[in-house]
A and B are shown apart, each in its own frame.
Chain A
């Protein structure tokens, strides 16, 4: 008797708890979605693999500069219907350099011909798009939405001069109720790797007929203790499969064997660069050199709570970190900080061409709450971004604006103006940090809030 009675009590209580739990999860996602409309999106950058052009996004704007002809490029059709209507969140060239894909908060995935700069095809997504990848054979574009579903579009029949065939996306796999932050194909094209807000990296076998779904999971790479923000493969001719490298909100960069999912090495970049442990600045982007010897790491700017000497501030907080990578020993180790002198430059994205020794960086934001500026972008480039050398003349160094290829014309096009008001840098960095945290970090309920949640549940109605 008592057993039955107790179970009934449980049932009423628990059904509600359970409902609440699920509802919270769903509303959190939905809330995030609407909150995002006023959210700040970081500026993105992508380099053509053979250095023909450079693409930058700021909010909904896609800006292209032709590095060969040294001139600004306008998109073939700049009528409003052809452009993005909301912040672009993902941008990438195909390996051959024939295509560029852009996608984002307007739920559109646009595939551009990187010669004509025609939009060859626009695919509608049901939800906002958070990441894109192009298969190694360039037959497929994959994209991930804010609800953790990965979609695929086949590129059959896509060609310059006959744009806009009707293309629909097919859902191929998912991360249940999570936000996918990054999608990446392995160098040999065998695997598609997806990273999410729930600390997970999933490695899936990319099948011969992917439109039928991606069912076979090769491994999970587990070990990050915060959202995973970015992925890249480090490989070279000696290690053609290379290793996966991931950056996270836990301030670390990890190196993985994707076949087994095993963690090979962790570099605590936040601690090694002396960034405050409490603030846990997130790694925002990674880039590996073509020879697999270096990984460049962009890391969030930390809140300036700890008193540091001015010199130290300048050298630590601005710029990028370089990790040296030893593929045979499966090791990453901190090499140096490349400082950006003169301004609070916290790169939001990195880019480089495959063969290049220039690393391009952008910092910028779609909008700047609380300032007069509507949006801003700043481009910098680092020279000698390759294997460290003993010759100190070949040390990586941030180029002056006058030394940047393309010069003023490039800056004018990609930044929107040759010079950028330096006061907006900090504001943008703070706004971007806040946006990233609210999107990806797990909510930590305060004790009071949790107590309130508990009181409003049915638990307390138990008679003891």
Chain B
């Protein structure tokens, strides 16, 4: 008989945090603004080309944290979290802008809610890099500001639970998402009956989900999905009036501004996360 010694292994020793690549880290930490165009103040394209390293944890080339505890806040919010060990600090990301595009909303929210931590989630590599540089630029030109906002490249449809714990978020934004008109592509829509289960999980009770689109069909779809979900309830018009964030849905996002310029119509659905009844 072959015996092996008995030795339980602690979870922590096995799974090291895996989050941003070296290059991304140095980008986030880079101080100077030489990567910015002097006349426009915008980040220069050539400094945010796609990362050379890939992470074997995913089919695509972006790293995925093993669990929300593995999200390294010191890379995203270095001034607030000087060290990766955040055990003594109860602050967590509370707002998520899913499919944040060029980051306009996040950036507006950052100064409107300076005490809250927020993150944009974007699947496109270069767009994410752009937003990263945009935030770094704002941090350098406005010392002390924009420390509470960051961006991450990920597929939100697969990895939301890897970033946020149960009930961690108080606001989620789905602004001008891709419409996916074809019936067979409806399952690619970021608002769907099944994905709402996950959003309900990461949102705390009373948390708010904001959706808006200029595509009427998608607007109806998102509203219907939310109405049919037992853990969301529609927010009254009076409350919407009083919520300063609602105005930003159009005015702060790049897509919203475009729609407004063209005088287009928008369709919004704003719902509250409620406890499951029955």
B residues 1-49 with Cβ under 8 Å of A? Answer: 1-11, 14-15, 37, 40, 42, 45-46, 49
**How far, in angstroms, from A462 to B8 measured CA to CA in the complex?**
53
Please indicate the chain A residues that have their CB under 8 angstroms from the CB of B67 in the complex: 220, 222-223
Q: Which of B5, B124, B127, B200 contacts A217 (CB 8 A)?
A: B200
Q: Report yes or no: A265 in contact with B8, Cβ–Cβ below 8 A.
A: yes
Q: Report yes or no: B102 in contact with A7, Cβ–Cβ below 8 A.
A: yes
Q: Which of A268, A331, A445, A464 contacts B46 (CB 8 A)?
A: A464
Q: Contacts A2-B42, A252-B14 hold; do A333 and B8 have CB atoms under 8 A apart?
A: yes
B162 interfacial contact with A, CB 8 Å: yes
Q: Report yes or no: B166 in contact with A219, Cβ–Cβ below 8 A.
A: yes
Stretch at the interface among A12-20, A103-111, A371-379: A12-20
B84 interfacial contact with A, CB 8 Å: no
Q: Which of B1, B7, B10, B229 contacts A215 (CB 8 A)?
A: B229
Closest-by-CB residue of A relative to B278 is: A208
Please indicate the chain A residues that have their CB under 8 angstroms from the CB of B198 in the complex: 217
Stretch at the interface among A171-179, A232-240, A408-416: A171-179
Q: Report yes or no: B10 in contact with A335, Cβ–Cβ below 8 A.
A: no
A167 interfacial contact with B, CB 8 Å: no
Q: Contacts A331-B8, A334-B7, A464-B46 hold; do A176 and B195 have CB atoms under 8 A apart?
A: yes
Q: Report yes or no: A273 in contact with B4, Cβ–Cβ below 8 A.
A: yes
Please indicate the chain B residues that have their CB under 8 angstroms from the CB of A400 in the complex: none
Stretch at the interface among B56-64, B108-116, B204-212, B238-246: B56-64
Interface residues on B, range: 35 or more
Q: Report yes or no: A14 in contact with B254, Cβ–Cβ below 8 A.
A: no
Q: Which of A200, A337, A462 contacts B161 (CB 8 A)?
A: A200
Q: Contacts A176-B194, A442-B59, A450-B54 hold; do A268 and B40 have CB atoms under 8 A apart?
A: no
Please indicate the chain A residues that have their CB under 8 angstroms from the CB of B247 in the complex: none
Tell me which of A22, A215, A252, A459 has the highest count of chain B C-beta atoms within 10 A of its own C-beta.
Answer: A215
Please, what's the 1-or-0 string for B85-110, where 1 marks a CB less than 8 Å from any CB in chain A? 00000000000000000100000000
Please indicate the chain B residues that have their CB under 8 angstroms from the CB of A268 in the complex: 9, 14
**How far, in angstroms, from A25 to B162 measured CA to CA in the complex?**
19
Q: Contacts A24-B59, A333-B8 hold; do A18 and B123 have CB atoms under 8 A apart?
A: yes
Please indicate the chain B residues that have their CB under 8 angstroms from the CB of A14 in the complex: 124, 126-127
Q: Which of A6, A223, A267 contacts B66 (CB 8 A)?
A: A223
Q: Report yes or no: B157 in contact with A176, Cβ–Cβ below 8 A.
A: yes
**How far, in angstroms, from A198 to B159 measured CA to CA in the complex?**
9
Q: Contacts A10-B127, A24-B59 hold; do A213 and B193 have CB atoms under 8 A apart?
A: yes
B264 interfacial contact with A, CB 8 Å: no
B201 interfacial contact with A, CB 8 Å: yes
Closest-by-CB residue of B relative to A261 is: B166
Q: Is the interface of A mostly helix, strand, loop or mixed?
A: mixed
Closest-by-CB residue of B relative to A274 is: B4
Taking the closest CB of chain A, its distance from the CB of B103, in whole angstroms, is 12
Q: Which of B4, B166, B197 contacts A337 (CB 8 A)?
A: B4
Please indicate the chain B residues that have their CB under 8 angstroms from the CB of A315 in the complex: 2
A115 interfacial contact with B, CB 8 Å: no
Please indicate the chain B residues that have their CB under 8 angstroms from the CB of A63 in the complex: none
**How far, in angstroms, from A358 to B231 measured CA to CA in the complex?**
46
Q: Contacts A18-B123, A216-B231, A450-B61 hold; do A442 and B130 have CB atoms under 8 A apart?
A: no
Please indicate the chain A residues that have their CB under 8 angstroms from the CB of B182 in the complex: none
B125 interfacial contact with A, CB 8 Å: yes
Q: Contacts A10-B127, A22-B188, A223-B11 hold; do A272 and B40 have CB atoms under 8 A apart?
A: no
Q: Which of A3, A13, A450 contacts B42 (CB 8 A)?
A: A3
B230 interfacial contact with A, CB 8 Å: yes
Taking the closest CB of chain B, its distance from the CB of A299, in whole angstroms, is 13
**How far, in angstroms, from A443 to B10 measured CA to CA in the complex?**
29
Please indicate the chain A residues that have their CB under 8 angstroms from the CB of B57 in the complex: 199, 225, 442
Q: Which of A10, A212, A217, A222 contacts B197 (CB 8 A)?
A: A217
Closest-by-CB residue of A relative to B15 is: A223
Closest-by-CB residue of B relative to A324 is: B6
Q: Contacts A217-B200, A459-B126 hold; do A272 and B4 have CB atoms under 8 A apart?
A: yes
Please indicate the chain A residues that have their CB under 8 angstroms from the CB of B254 in the complex: 7
A residues 211-251 with Cβ under 8 Å of B? Answer: 212-217, 219-220, 222-225
Q: Report yes or no: B2 in contact with A266, Cβ–Cβ below 8 A.
A: no
B50 interfacial contact with A, CB 8 Å: yes
Q: Report yes or no: B9 in contact with A266, Cβ–Cβ below 8 A.
A: yes
Taking the closest CB of chain B, its distance from the CB of A159, in whole angstroms, is 30
A263 interfacial contact with B, CB 8 Å: yes
Q: Which of A200, A212, A395 contacts B1 (CB 8 A)?
A: A395
A339 interfacial contact with B, CB 8 Å: yes
Please indicate the chain A residues that have their CB under 8 angstroms from the CB of B46 in the complex: 464
Closest-by-CB residue of B relative to A272 is: B4
Q: Which of A177, A202, A215, A222 contacts B231 (CB 8 A)?
A: A215
9 closest A-B pairs (Cβ-Cβ)?
A222-B67, A174-B194, A315-B2, A217-B201, A333-B6, A14-B124, A220-B161, A263-B11, A333-B8
Besides A2-B40, A7-B102, 6 other A-B contacts (C-beta < 8 A)? A7-B254, A216-B276, A252-B14, A268-B9, A272-B4, A443-B59
Binding site for B on A (CB under 8 A): 2-3, 6-7, 9-10, 13-14, 17-18, 21-22, 24-25, 28, 149, 173-174, 176-178, 198-200, 202, 204, 208, 212-217, 219-220, 222-225, 252, 254, 261, 263-268, 272-274, 315-316, 324, 331-337, 339, 395, 442-445, 450, 454, 459, 462, 464
Binding site for A on B (CB under 8 A): 1-11, 14-15, 37, 40, 42, 45-46, 49-50, 54, 56-61, 66-68, 102, 123-127, 130, 155, 157-159, 161-162, 166, 178, 188, 193-198, 200-201, 229-231, 254, 276, 278
Provide a sorted-by-A list of 17 A–B residue pairs whose CB atoms are within 8 angstroms: A3-B40, A13-B126, A18-B178, A25-B59, A28-B59, A149-B194, A220-B67, A223-B11, A223-B67, A261-B166, A265-B9, A266-B11, A334-B7, A336-B4, A339-B1, A450-B54, A450-B61
